[in-house]
């Protein structure tokens, strides 16, 4: 009986602590393309969790499965306590979803968009007006509430998208590439909104992004996805702390392939990689290694055009675990 009681207690606690539980989730399309390959993750209640990877890595497909927009080929997941396969209606009632492309009606006002979304999400009629007003205030659009959305700036439209994702008061909010195309100032403002949202509502936010700085500054934890697989997960600080040494970038032009081979034999070099006309070397001690690397290349007839030295970044984490540099597109 004691063992049984403990088992029940642990089950209840897991439901409280983990807002999303993903187990071996996979998606293979009819053409044979495997977009998601065995993703397993646990995302805690009240945290901002990022899926970081280039376009085509499988991030959006993962989100589409978790939001019940497409069925998985294998594995499963629970979102806000509901199974995505057995109880898709329960999942949809408990989540908010903001897609990459804006879903607002540009010929309706901001208030009209929110009111329609509230009715579609079955918000009680008596609460629609007050909830719409509160959300417009929260996303700082109350003064523009009666304007048609076509007159909104890109940042205003994205804030309206965010409000529409919150209209049913969800426990989990999914944001698929929410800041793509926004200017740096608007992106930073949206980050502040999300941090405020998490703090005020203890809301779980799952965000997909291909911006390294966004994942670093916004996410409590993140998973790096490459070719449909999770290659590493943790807090940004933990992931960067696992990378030994410093990163030296040397621009050498057409000699980059030969330079990569030359630097592999230099003492203290942990890893080398070509990135176009640049050679990237991870070294034990950057300040000491930098002149040694330049000398080694120039003695072999490789001219160094420029050199930079930096501490480990998420780009270095990605390179370390995937073997290639992070770009906006998935590696072939």
Strand pairing class (48-52; 95-98): unpaired
If you write DSSP's letter for every residue of 12-69 in order, what string do you get? HHHHHHEEEEEEEEEEE-TTS-EEEEEEEEEEETT-EEEEE--BTSSHHHHHHHHTTS
pLDDT band at 11 (very low <50, low <70, confident <90, very high): very low
Q: Is the pLDDT of residue 221 over 90?
A: yes
CA 295 to chain centre: 40
Element (H, E) at 102: none
State the CATH class of domain 244-311. Answer: alpha beta
Q: What is the pLDDT of residue 279?
A: 92
Domain boundaries, the chain: 2-239, 244-311
DSSP state of 151: G
pLDDT at 329: 54
Higher-confidence position of 315 and 135: 135
Q: What is the pLDDT of residue 98?
A: 93
Fold of 2-239: Rossmann fold (3.40.50)
- Rounded to the nearest angstrom, the gap between the alpha carbon of residue 198 and the centroid of all alpha carbons in its chain is 16
Element (DSSP H or E) covering residue 210? none
- Taking the whole predicted model, whether its pTM rises above 0.75 is answered as yes
Distance CA(262)–CA(298), nearest Å, equals 11
Q: What is the pLDDT of residues 132-185, one digit of tens each?
A: 999 999 999 999 999 999 999 988 999 999 999 999 999 999 999 988 888 888
């Amino acid at each position: 009986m004691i063992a049984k009681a403990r088992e029940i207690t642990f089950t209840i606690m897991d439901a409280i602590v983990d807002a999303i539980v993903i187990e071996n989730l996979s998606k293979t399309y009819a053409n044979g393309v495997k977009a998601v390959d065995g993703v397993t993750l646990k995302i805690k209640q009240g945290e901002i969790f990022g899926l970081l990877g280039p376009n085509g890595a499988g991030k959006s497909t993962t989100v589409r499965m978790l939001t019940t927009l497409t069925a998985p080929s294998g594995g499963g997941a629970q979102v806000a306590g509901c199974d995505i396969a057995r109880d898709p209606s329960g999942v949809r009632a408990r989540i908010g979803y903001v897609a990459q492309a804006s879903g607002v009606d540009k010929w309706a006002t901001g208030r009209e968009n929110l009111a329609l979304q509230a009715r579609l999400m079955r918000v009680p009629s008596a609460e629609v007006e007050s909830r719409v007003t509160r959300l417009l205030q929260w996303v700082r659009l109350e003064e523009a509430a009666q304007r048609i959305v076509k007159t909104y700036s890109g940042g205003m439209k994205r804030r309206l998208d965010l409000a529409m994702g919150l209209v049913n008061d969800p426990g989990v909010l999914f944001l698929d590439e929410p800041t793509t195309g926004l200017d740096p100032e608007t992106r930073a403002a949206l980050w502040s909104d999300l941090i405020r949202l998490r703090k005020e509502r203890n809301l779980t936010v799952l965000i997909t992004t291909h911006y390294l700085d966004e994942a670093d500054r916004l996410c409590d934890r993140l998973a790096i996805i490459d070719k449909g697989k999770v290659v590493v997960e943790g807090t940004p600080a933990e992931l960067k702390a696992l990378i030994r040494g410093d990163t030296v970038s040397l621009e050498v032009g057409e000699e980059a392939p030969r330079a990569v081979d030359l630097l592999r034999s230099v003492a203290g070099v942990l890893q080398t990689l070509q990135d176009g006309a640049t050679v990237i070397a991870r070294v034990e001690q950057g300040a000491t290694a930098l002149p040694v690397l330049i000398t080694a290349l120039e003695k072999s007839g490789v001219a160094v055009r420029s050199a930079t030295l930096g501490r480990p970044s998420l780009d270095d984490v990605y390179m370390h675990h995937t073997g290639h540099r992070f770009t906006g597109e998935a590696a072939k």
